[in-house]
Amino acid sequence: MSDMLRVRHGAHTVGTLHDDGGRFSFCYDDTWRAGGWPISCALPLDTAGDDGHAFFAQLSTEPGASLAHLAAQGHDLFGALTCHTTAPAEHPLTSNALASTHSVRLTAHPHRFLTGGDTPATHWLTCTHGDQPVRAAYAHDLARQLGLPVTDSQLLRTDTGWALLSRRTDCDDNGARLHAETLRQALGLSPHQPDTTLGAVADLLRRHTLQPVIDLCALVQWQIFNALIGNDHNALEHLALRRADDGWRLAPFAHFTATPGTTHLPLPVGSNHDPHQLGGPDWQALAHDTGVNKKLVRRLLREQASHLLDQLDSWHLAFNQQHDTAAETQPVRELLRRQYRKALRDWLR
């Protein structure tokens, strides 16, 4: 195949992407540069050369993907960009394949699970052995009850076990694909670089989003919830910005999983990764790092922990009545209750 791909947004050419010795090199098209917008916070319109490597290397479901892989999957990358030559054939997945696949894409057509094709996916389907999809659906339900901005999700039973169907963060409620980027892309982090700090994320939101105060508050609430449920998926690849009007907004949250026994949060509170060893100084450090008033952080923390502790039993009962998951969620509920009490006792000191 050619060592060059045209990057498009709808019918418009955005630029050209080259393979420059194993690194992506990107240059905006002159017409797009004159009347378009930056496709990433890390790619201003004067970008040229390998500054685009970090963005395009994480544009597909396989970080570090080659130009050939982007061409093959180029109709269904993250966000609303395309960079394919011809659409590949569709390959329906079998039940056995579903059981071993973590991020299957589901098109808008009911009951059609695809690894290829020219119909952009509207949902992610997460299938794993064990109760992980149940704990993820349980966490999503708690977040929704709290009023956090989360994607729609649905817990499913398959012939091989549980599965979680969730709307992609780069789709609107009607299934239309929106341009988006993960926070790793927005920060210009290459696939092999570790996540940065929440302080760097907060600075990014202040500089690039249309409603930084709202988005900063949501970021703090996201981290509080992660610590309260032991979400060991609180990584920057699971946070995204969506293009809106003439700027960016923080996308609804996805990828929560209730793992209250975890002792490691990928993104720490202050410098502390262990949600069971958090104290007041750690949350004060988070307030300092993000530039969010520490009294506001304490108020948000108290509100979440108190609300969860007060409503956990009723929300737990409603979830299990809907899904018949008492065996999977009962141990989680007991661990969560202890964590909420500990938070109210120790985190507010």
- Angle 83-63-254 from CA coordinates, rounded to 5°: 95
Q: Mind listing the pLDDT tens digit of every residue in the chain (349 residues)?
A: 457 899 999 889 999 998 877 788 899 999 999 999 999 999 999 887 667 889 999 887 665 567 888 887 777 888 999 886 644 444 444 434 444 444 445 544 444 444 445 567 788 888 777 899 999 999 999 999 999 999 999 999 887 889 898 888 998 888 788 999 999 999 999 888 999 999 999 999 999 999 999 999 999 999 999 999 999 887 898 999 999 888 999 999 988 999 999 999 999 999 999 999 999 999 999 999 999 999 999 999 999 999 999 999 999 999 999 999 999 999 999 999 999 999 999 999 8
Question: Cα–Cα distance between 246 and 71 in angstroms, integer?
Answer: 29
DSSP string for residues in 158-204 = ETTEEEEEEE-TTB-TT--B--EEEHHHHTT--TTSPP--HHHHHHH
Which three-class secondary structure state does DSSP give residue 64? Answer: coil
**What domains can you pick out in the chain, each with its CATH number?**
4-82 (no CATH), 95-167 (no CATH), 180-347 (1.10.1070)
Tokens 């990928």 correspond to 266
Number of C-beta neighbours around residue 132 at 10 A:
19
Residue 192: what pLDDT?
A: 87
Q: Which residues are registered as beta bridge partners of 25?
A: 18
Q: Which helix (H) or strand (E) holds 5?
A: strand 4-9
Question: Cα–Cα distance between 60 and 261 in angstroms, integer?
Answer: 31
Question: Cα–Cα distance between 304 and 299 in angstroms, integer?
Answer: 9
What is the Cα Rg of the chain in Å? Answer: 21
Question: Cα–Cα distance between 263 and 335 in angstroms, integer?
Answer: 13
DSSP string for residues in 72-128 = HHTTS-SSSEE--SSPPPP-BPPHHHHHT-SSEEE-SSTT-EESS-SS---EEEEE-
Tokens of 255: 């990828």
Number of C-beta neighbours around residue 331 at 10 A:
13
pTM: 0.90
Which three-class secondary structure state does DSSP give residue 19? Answer: strand
